[in-house]
Structure 1
Amino acid sequence: MIDQETLNGLFNKYEGPTVTACNRHDDAVVINLYVDDNLRWFQGHFPEQPVLPGIVQIDWAGTLARALMVGDNSFKQLINIKFKTMVMPNTAMQLELTYQADKGSLKFHFFNENTSFSQGSFKFIPL
C-alpha cells in the first residue's frame, strides 16, 4: 500500500487535495481527503462563491486510482458521471475507489457523512 506522503506527492502544490488517510478493503480503497481553500482551482470559479470544478474531481479520482489500483492500463471512457453537490473550500471528504480488474471498471464516489458530492466510473483497457 502506498503511504499518505506518496499520495500527496502525486499532485502539484495548490492543485491536489491533502490525503489524511488511506484504507484498503478487499477490492476497494477509501481515501480521506481535505480540500483546502488555497487550491488554485477556486480562483475565479466562482468569485462570489468558490466551487471545486467537477473535472478536477475526475482528475483526482483517476490519479489516485492509477497509483493505487489501475497502474498503466489505458483509459477508455468515463460513464455515469454525476455531480450531485458542489464541493466548497475547506471541505473534508472521502473518496471510495472500487476496481473490477477483470472488467476494467473503476467506480469512484466522493462523499462525507452528510453529502454525496460526485460519482461515476472509468473504463480501462488492460495492457
Structure 2
Amino acid sequence: MPSITPEQLNAQLDAAQWPRFHALVQRSDQAIIELEVPDDLRYFAGHFPQQAVLPGVVQVHWVGELAARLFAVGAFTELKSLKFNSMVLPNTWLRLTLDFHAEKSQLKFSYATQEQYFSSGVLVFKSGDRQ
C-alpha cells in the first residue's frame, strides 16, 4: 500500500484544482483525510454566479484520484449510491472518509463535518485492477 503525507499531496497536486490537505490517517483499508476547500479553486468560477458551489463531479473525481494514490487501484468503472446532501461552498473544511473493500473492489466515501454530511457514494473498480 502506498504511503503518502498531506504535505506530499499538497506538493504533487495542482492547488488550483485540489483542496488543501491538512491531515491524513491511513490504514490498509481506510483513509481519513482532513481537507479545506479554498475559495480560489478554478471549479468555483461560474458555478454559480450568485453562490459558488463545488460541483459534484469534482468531488467524485477527487475520490477516484485519491483512491488510486492511497490504495493503488486503477480507474473506477461504476458509481453507486451517490448522494449529495449539502452544497460544498468555498472555504469549507471537510473530513473525507475512504473505506476500501478489496474483496469487492469497492470504495465507499463520504464528505462530512461533525455537523452534517455533504456527499457520499461507492466507487466500483474493475476486479483485480490494483496496480
Q: TM-score, normalised by structure 1?
A: 0.93
Gaps of 5+ in 1: none
Which residue of 69, 74, 77 maps to 1:67?
69
Corresponding position of 2:17: 15
What percentage of aligned pairs have identical amino acids?
40
Alignment partners' CA distance in 1, 2:73 and 2:32:
21
1:54-90 CA-to-partner distances (Å, cap 9, x unmatched) read 0000011111111001x14342211110011000000
The root-mean-square deviation of aligned C-alpha atoms, in Å, is: 1.3
Q: Is 1:113 paired with 2:114?
A: yes
Aligned pair in 2 of structure 1 residues 15, 74: CA closer, same or farther (>3 Å)?
closer
- Secondary structure of the residue aligned to 2:4 is coil
Equivalent position of 1:90 in the other structure = 91
Distance in 1 separating the partners of 2:17 and 2:101: 28
Runs of 4+ in 1 over 4 A off after TM superposition: none
Offset of residue 29 of structure 1: 0.8
For structure 2, the residue ranges without an aligned partner over 5 or more in a row are none
TM-score by length of 2: 0.90
The letter for the 2-side match of 1:13 is A
In the aligned structure 2, how far is the partner of 1:74 from the partner of 1:44? 28
